[in-house]
Chains A and B, each alone.
Chain A
């Protein structure tokens, strides 16, 4: 059954937006969650992921790229393999003048209901169907003439217009039993939901994904989801990747290990320290969103706190190592280890997770190379660390050498900073990682 693609509401007050572009072409297979199109809302252009899977179909009357579209407007359909486009799909119901009655057809397919079934919608549906009804021709042609004998007053069949309808009684019982009748497929004429359908739904054992098993949406998960969604809503994330030669960094860590220090700094600690130092030379990156997204504030280097992403059983947490520039590597390592432990124990305070200028996220332990980390808003960038790999590299004199390498993924908020400064910053970070001793000695 064809799934509709509609314009989402990106903020509380959004009523319309601009369809910026399609990220898939008609005929493309779209997976659930895959970016489908870009929509410009009040605050930003946003990539909209697909809610469903299927083959993208854009009807002829679909809104053109660049046009202003109302929230809820129909943009297109996702079809299952082999499925014909819905009939009447020329009706794209945002501007009323686009709504045209479709020609009466035999065996009208059942497109996904148009979501609404209010009296006005049903009235419209009836109007649209008026030409197709009374096919028997027994109705008097004089407008005021009453019906003939036999069955009278046939309700106009609304099914062709795709309205979801429920009898008044079904709606009453649904509300009594807490059943969402709109989700039911009715057994009445034209798919009308009847009382029996509602009662059947109410008496079914709690089935389907949403109701079987435990609810995995824990409050923590919910908060994470909200935060990430918020980031996605507020930022225009662009990810740059580069590969850093970390042979020296690996060697440095070996030396730390062989030393007598109680704590061996992890790659993340060293990268945090190095990155903070590089950041001093890139003030355009040393900023945060502020004032309800109405200001970008420079972060002074005395406040270079670095967030370290920590994976816990309860979900992702980002404790913040304070004032990285003033701290030794060992101090950073000790602090980050303590924070990670507190995170895993669920004892982090809110203050311990705030005010970072940038976050470092390391997925190298899972063998991941490049990825697109999500900015920890209101920060404007996040640095992703990949796995350290021994790789053949073409050396300075065209000989093949074995080097330790790591992919760096920097996601930055294009709304806050342009691509070139971000790229320069990333290149400097890569250089610092290639020659850590020099930077660590730097000041």
Chain B
């Protein structure tokens, strides 16, 4: 290895050595702290793998972004996180890098490009693609690095991510740390193809199989890969073969799946000792040798002091204030500009209204890009991006492979990296493949990072039953998404609302599910040509009345409106309320209406069970019990997948006659 050391300057050698020592000593101190009960949750150490993070990160700037795994302490430290911030986080202190909201598996320091460790295996690969996409879109020259274990390479995220990075030539470095076990499952068992690098080659990505304990080799190859990425030549995959010499997590038994002898043998291959020996041996007896040895020894002492100070800092740091436990679920609410006083006379469709909003905002904000299947030249299955490709090109109107999880995960990383993705998934049913990326990653990112990351992602798509779309093109799912803290869920029912709400979503910093009922895309109403926003969490009183309050969203607003006149002839005056946003929910307007009418019917297309209608009913019973003059009633779709035959389909969706009958019955209660 003298060749390698010879090409590396003394300063670089010392930097690599120092980084590895910081990782090693910090981890060993954390292991001691874990044994003493000072660390509250899981603690996965990086001992034995230090060469990889140190070798790769030595090339990175603070603007470059690292997306990491559950075994991520080393990545954070190598990316520049002071050990005190890491230790304080594991101690659950307010001074920790995630201010106590993350812990070992959610280490965030976006200010230095540390974009988070993760408790889920796989998403970091997609997020790194997003980081690369954002860098490419915004021409920052930054690169993104994904660190992941061998356990991730048999996961779809790996394949979807590598493919996307390859076809779009993203500036991404994929670093697989093959330590031979996915927790305790051997890679040799779990993998049909024993080579990770071979998988990269399958996507025509330059791929290298490296000795993961040789920091100089890793440093060299990573340097080439990063240079290539910055030059726009696309991604690289490194398979770094290594071994963790401590248990999967501190405190876990370690010898059921591997032997003490194996571990002892790998400890002999310690990357830190190896670097010392590699660089000192050729210089044996010379002045430079003793000089360099002295430097290494000095680093050892300096790092020991740093780690000691870090622990003291962590132990003496304040714990977070419990009253702040629910802050940072969402970004701060932007001030609300005035809404137009009148809608005017221009009639356009719901679909035209959202296109107008998107087009206007894309012109105003170049960080916005749209991803989806067929939203490029084709202009979208529902013409959601019609004409925009010609204006903004393939990078901002990006057609995707059919890999919902992949591009939703990419959107997450892109938003984390400063872009403003709009994901157009055509049918909401499709995005269920990316459900975890939405609920586990996009929704939680602001919170996990204690508000230091913003997540301006708009996830849009069609919902709803109609025209025999059958069960894979008819779901609504908003109740399901509304259960995820961190998401906002918008379900407009009119063209006017759709434009104002989409603009609000595009300009905000929170992830928004923008769900458009397919059966009302052609409804027309007066929409002002100018831009305007509609506040989230403010219901629209669609029709005033005093006999009964009906709450409905999306198409059910129209189904209910269809019977209001008929009911009015019988002196039943319906007050129809469209909350417009499921999260946040304007319960006050509903309560105010029930206070007036004493009666509440909720009309909702999805099934009743544990859904939106159940939530409204529960809230009104909680807060408006004494205003109720009758039981709360619901009209819901059947608890049933959506059938194809028109006759069957009609039977599972609330029809106007059902709604009218329910209202009449409620009046009699």
Query: Cβ of B607 < 8 Å from any Cβ of A?
Result: yes
Residue pair B631, A155 in contact (C-beta under 8 Å): yes
Residue pair B598, A169 in contact (C-beta under 8 Å): yes
Residue pair B638, A148 in contact (C-beta under 8 Å): yes
Query: Cβ of B639 < 8 Å from any Cβ of A?
Result: yes
Min CB–CB distance B1 → chain A (angstroms) = 65
Residue of A whose beta carbon sits closest to that of B602: A152
Residue pair A152, B626 in contact (C-beta under 8 Å): no
* B607, B610, B636, B654 interface centre (most CB from chain A within 10 Å): B636
A148 and B669 alpha carbons, distance in the complex (Å): 21
Residue pair B598, A153 in contact (C-beta under 8 Å): no
A169 and B625 alpha carbons, distance in the complex (Å): 7
Q: Which of A151-167 contact B (CB under 8 A)?
A: 151-153, 155, 167
Residue pair B639, A145 in contact (C-beta under 8 Å): yes
| B628: contacting residue among A145, A149, A152, A169, CB under 8 A | A169
Residue pair A153, B608 in contact (C-beta under 8 Å): yes
Chain B residues with CB below 8 A from A171, complex form: 626
Residue pair B628, A151 in contact (C-beta under 8 Å): no
| Known pairs A149-B652, A194-B630; A188 contacts B598 (CB<8 A) | no
Residue pair A195, B662 in contact (C-beta under 8 Å): no
Query: Cβ of B661 < 8 Å from any Cβ of A?
Result: yes
| Known pairs A150-B658, A167-B628, A168-B628; A188 contacts B636 (CB<8 A) | no
Size bin of chain B's contact surface = 20 to 34
Q: Which of B627-647 contact A (CB under 8 A)?
A: 627-640
Min CB–CB distance B18 → chain A (angstroms) = 60
Bitwise, B607-629 to A at CB < 8 A (1) or not (0) is 11110000001000000011111
Residue pair A153, B668 in contact (C-beta under 8 Å): no
Query: Cβ of A394 < 8 Å from any Cβ of B?
Result: no
Chain A residues with CB below 8 A from B661, complex form: 151
Residue pair B608, A146 in contact (C-beta under 8 Å): yes
| Known pairs A152-B635, A167-B598; A172 contacts B662 (CB<8 A) | no
A151 and B608 alpha carbons, distance in the complex (Å): 10
Give the number of residues in A that approach B within 8 Å (Cβ atoms).
23
Min CB–CB distance B610 → chain A (angstroms) = 8
Residue pair B638, A149 in contact (C-beta under 8 Å): yes
| B635: contacting residue among A151, A169, A189, CB under 8 A | A151
Residue pair A172, B639 in contact (C-beta under 8 Å): no
* A140, A171, A188 interface centre (most CB from chain B within 10 Å): A188
Residue pair A172, B636 in contact (C-beta under 8 Å): no
Chain A residues with CB below 8 A from B628, complex form: 167-169
Min CB–CB distance B640 → chain A (angstroms) = 8
Query: Cβ of A170 < 8 Å from any Cβ of B?
Result: yes
A172 and B628 alpha carbons, distance in the complex (Å): 9
Query: Cβ of A288 < 8 Å from any Cβ of B?
Result: no
Query: Cβ of A147 < 8 Å from any Cβ of B?
Result: yes
Query: Cβ of A277 < 8 Å from any Cβ of B?
Result: no
Query: Cβ of A91 < 8 Å from any Cβ of B?
Result: no
Chain B residues with CB below 8 A from A322, complex form: none
Query: Cβ of B264 < 8 Å from any Cβ of A?
Result: no
Query: Cβ of B252 < 8 Å from any Cβ of A?
Result: no
Chain B residues with CB below 8 A from A188, complex form: 630, 668-669
| A151: contacting residue among B598, B637, B652, B658, CB under 8 A | B658
Chain A residues with CB below 8 A from B665, complex form: 151
Residue pair B654, A149 in contact (C-beta under 8 Å): yes
Residue pair B669, A189 in contact (C-beta under 8 Å): yes
Q: Which of A181-196 contact B (CB under 8 A)?
A: 188-189, 192, 194-196
A145 and B633 alpha carbons, distance in the complex (Å): 18
Bitwise, B295-338 to A at CB < 8 A (1) or not (0) is 00000000000000000000000000000000000000000000
Bitwise, A72-98 to B at CB < 8 A (1) or not (0) is 000000000000000000000000000
A196 and B668 alpha carbons, distance in the complex (Å): 12
Residue of B whose beta carbon sits closest to that of A189: B669
Min CB–CB distance A196 → chain B (angstroms) = 8
| A148: contacting residue among B598, B617, B639, B668, CB under 8 A | B639
Residue pair B634, A169 in contact (C-beta under 8 Å): no
A280 and B67 alpha carbons, distance in the complex (Å): 114
Residue pair A146, B609 in contact (C-beta under 8 Å): yes
How many pairs of residues, A versus B, come closer than 8 Å at their CB atoms? 79
| B634: contacting residue among A153, A170, A194, A196, CB under 8 A | A153
Residue pair A152, B629 in contact (C-beta under 8 Å): no
| Known pairs A149-B638, A188-B669, A195-B598; A168 contacts B633 (CB<8 A) | no
Chain B residues with CB below 8 A from A170, complex form: 629
A146 and B634 alpha carbons, distance in the complex (Å): 12
Residue pair A153, B633 in contact (C-beta under 8 Å): yes
A38 and B297 alpha carbons, distance in the complex (Å): 106
Residue pair B637, A195 in contact (C-beta under 8 Å): no
Min CB–CB distance A191 → chain B (angstroms) = 11
Residue pair B608, A147 in contact (C-beta under 8 Å): yes
Residue pair B625, A152 in contact (C-beta under 8 Å): no
Q: Which of A110-166 contact B (CB under 8 A)?
A: 140, 145-153, 155
Chain B residues with CB below 8 A from A172, complex form: 626-627
Residue pair B639, A146 in contact (C-beta under 8 Å): yes
| Known pairs A147-B608, A169-B627, A169-B628; A152 contacts B633 (CB<8 A) | yes
| Known pairs A171-B626, A189-B669, A194-B630; A152 contacts B636 (CB<8 A) | yes
Residue of A whose beta carbon sits closest to that of B651: A149
Residue pair B598, A192 in contact (C-beta under 8 Å): no
Residue of A whose beta carbon sits closest to that of B630: A167
Residue pair B635, A150 in contact (C-beta under 8 Å): yes
Chain A residues with CB below 8 A from B653, complex form: 149
Residue pair A149, B636 in contact (C-beta under 8 Å): yes
Residue pair A149, B637 in contact (C-beta under 8 Å): yes
| Known pairs A146-B608, A169-B627, A189-B669; A151 contacts B633 (CB<8 A) | yes
Min CB–CB distance A138 → chain B (angstroms) = 11
Residue pair A195, B631 in contact (C-beta under 8 Å): no
A194 and B625 alpha carbons, distance in the complex (Å): 14
| B662: contacting residue among A146, A151, A155, A168, CB under 8 A | A151
Chain A residues with CB below 8 A from B608, complex form: 146-147, 152-153
Bitwise, B648-669 to A at CB < 8 A (1) or not (0) is 0001111000100110010011
| B639: contacting residue among A147, A167, A192, CB under 8 A | A147
Residue of B whose beta carbon sits closest to that of A172: B626
A192 and B668 alpha carbons, distance in the complex (Å): 10
Chain B residues with CB below 8 A from A151, complex form: 633-635, 658, 661-662, 665
Residue pair B629, A194 in contact (C-beta under 8 Å): yes
Residue of A whose beta carbon sits closest to that of B625: A168
A149 and B661 alpha carbons, distance in the complex (Å): 13
Min CB–CB distance B657 → chain A (angstroms) = 10
A171 and B629 alpha carbons, distance in the complex (Å): 9
Chain B residues with CB below 8 A from A189, complex form: 668-669
Q: Which of B572-622 contact A (CB under 8 A)?
A: 598, 607-610, 617
A122 and B654 alpha carbons, distance in the complex (Å): 31
Min CB–CB distance B633 → chain A (angstroms) = 7
Min CB–CB distance A356 → chain B (angstroms) = 57
* A145, A147, A196 interface centre (most CB from chain B within 10 Å): A147
Min CB–CB distance A181 → chain B (angstroms) = 12
* A149, A151, A153, A188 interface centre (most CB from chain B within 10 Å): A149
Min CB–CB distance B439 → chain A (angstroms) = 22
Min CB–CB distance B182 → chain A (angstroms) = 36
Residue pair A168, B636 in contact (C-beta under 8 Å): no
Between A and B, 30 residue pairs with Cβ closer than 8 Å are A145-B639, A146-B608, A146-B609, A147-B609, A147-B639, A148-B638, A148-B639, A149-B658, A150-B635, A150-B658, A150-B662, A151-B634, A151-B661, A152-B633, A152-B635, A153-B608, A153-B634, A155-B669, A167-B598, A167-B628, A167-B629, A168-B625, A168-B629, A169-B598, A169-B627, A169-B628, A188-B669, A192-B630, A194-B630, A194-B669
Given A152-B608, A152-B636, A155-B669; 11 other pairs, CB 8 A cutoff: A145-B639, A146-B609, A149-B638, A149-B654, A149-B658, A168-B625, A168-B627, A169-B626, A172-B626, A172-B627, A194-B669
Which 4 residue pairs are nearest across A and B when measured between Cβ atoms? A146-B609, A149-B638, A169-B629, A172-B626
Residues of A within 8 A of B (CB): 140, 145-153, 155, 167-172, 188-189, 192, 194-196
